[in-house]
Amino acid sequence: MKITVDGKVLEVEEGISVLEACLQNGIFIPNLCFLKERERPHASCRLCFVQVEGMPTPTTSCTLPVKDGMVIHTNTPEVRRLQKTAFKLIMSGHPCHAKTCPVGKNCTLMKIAKFLGVGLGPKPYERLDREMPDLIDFGFMYYSPYRCVLCAKCIHVCKTQNGKPLLTFARRGFETIVAFFQDPLENTEEKCINCRACTNICPTGALVLKDTENVEREDEAQTA
């Protein structure tokens, strides 16, 4: 089937989302929670808005299946306004220290900030006051709640690895964090040491292996 994106006609396969079709064709749409293998999109980051002709308002492209003849715009002023607002909300709970961050230049947030032409540091955004530690010891890895954007990718890949996930979301609202179902200090070593799927997929460096401990500690001192 054919769709048109920003004036370009694309041949795309049936059953995929508009986001996937665009990414496959080199058209970047900001996204944090999209994972191709997921049956149902998590759709939590609210970054992937597009405008489809015939629809009254922009919609999230990860939840929108392609339809033959669809005409899509990825860069209207309203789309950009919504994306910047969503990004601002994410960054308000995610104070960034790019120089000491373990993911460094591979950071997805950095890529999105550059794409949207907005700042990355915590200064332009109000920091949400949340009752949570800067760093949690997860056995062979550390988890930094302030870096976590709650995309759930780690939970999904853990489920794929183990049949059922060792990880889950705990607490509620702005204080939601990733946690282990069981005590990670006793349970991660055996299953996790040869896996590392969650630390590999995390887009923000919220989950890192302990061999980056020194970098983490330096960062922690700055966010405290």
The smaller minimum CB distance to ligand FES, of residues 63 and 161, is found at 63
Could you say which residues in the range 54-83 bind ligand FES, by CB under 6 A?
60, 62
**Number of residues this chain uses to bind ligand SF4 (CB under 6 A):** 27
Could you say which residues in the range 14-43 bind ligand FES, by CB under 6 A?
31-34, 43
State the residue for tokens 């715009």.
Answer: 73
When binding is defined by CB under 6 A, the residue of 48, 103, 148, 198 that contacts ligand FES is 48
| Residue type (1 letter), 37 | E
Residue 44 beta carbon to ligand SF4: minimum distance, rounded to whole angstroms: 9
When binding is defined by CB under 6 A, the residue of 18, 166, 208, 215 that contacts ligand SF4 is 166
**How many Cβ atoms sit within 10 Å of the Cβ of residue 53?**
10
CA distance linking residue 87 with residue 91, whole number of Å: 6
3-state secondary structure string, 36-104?
Answer: CCCCCCCCCCCCCEEEECCCCCCEEHHHCECCCCCEEECCCHHHHHHHHHHHHHHHHCCCCCCCCCCCH
Intra-chain end-to-end CA distance of the chain, in Å:
52
CA distance linking residue 178 with residue 201, whole number of Å: 14
When binding is defined by CB under 6 A, the residue of 148, 208, 215, 216 that contacts ligand SF4 is 148
Residue 196 beta carbon to ligand FES: minimum distance, rounded to whole angstroms: 23
When binding is defined by CB under 6 A, the residue of 178, 208, 216, 219 that contacts ligand SF4 is 178
Which positions touch ligand SF4 (CB under 6 A)? Answer: 148-154, 157-158, 161-162, 166-167, 178, 188, 191-192, 195-198, 201-204, 206-207
